Chain A
């Protein structure tokens, strides 16, 4: 079983739909992240959680709503998205937030907004 598991791997949704992305980490880490990966752009940090508390929110539109019920699970709730939100959404975890040296990524959820 991989360290960080994301579901679904692929998602197609209309602009009026509501869907959620799920991430689970099996590494015993305390910090979890959502990144957006668009073609030819740097990885874009969206949210950071440490011990279920949101510690960073990088000016992400409110149509993206994160939820971290415990240190192993992270969700990204999606509603009324725009076509430009189509991207690969990556979840990652790290041991902690102080002096982050390595992020462990999931395989991503490929989102297409029609």
Chain B
């Protein structure tokens, strides 16, 4: 059973646009929500993470929005750049990480 559901499967955005990826979960024991970024030919790497006592976390052009009551969280990539083209995985952790299926983001110049 997939513990974290991620959408969309892929998206294309123009340079300078906003990319939005959504994730939902059911397990209320999850207490840590990271996002991983994976470039082609590379392994996933931690990008940004949030804890459920915070509604938003921003690091540069990347922002996580967290809605505890709805059990949803999302990643916003502002001013998207071609170098942001990658696959993004949301995840949730209680004592171990459960990953979403991934979203392939393509930023067109």
Binding site for B on A (CB under 8 A): 4, 40-43, 48, 90, 92, 97-108
Contact = CB atoms under 8 A, between A and B. Distances in A.
Contacts of A107: 41-43
A45 to B, nearest CB: 8
B95 A99 contact: yes
8 contacts: A40-B9, A40-B102, A42-B100, A42-B101, A102-B46, A103-B46, A107-B41, A108-B42
Lowest 3 A-B CB distances belong to which pairs? A105-B43, A43-B99, A42-B101
B9 A103 contact: no
Interface of B: 2, 4, 9, 32, 34, 41-46, 49, 89, 93, 95-102
A105 B44 contact: yes
B32 to A, nearest CB: 6
Contact of B97 (A40, A98, A103, A108): A103
B43 A101 contact: no
A101 B93 contact: yes
A98 B101 contact: no
Contact of B43 (A90, A98, A99): A90
Nearest to B97: A100
Contact of A101 (B2, B34, B99, B100): B34
A100 B46 CA distance: 13
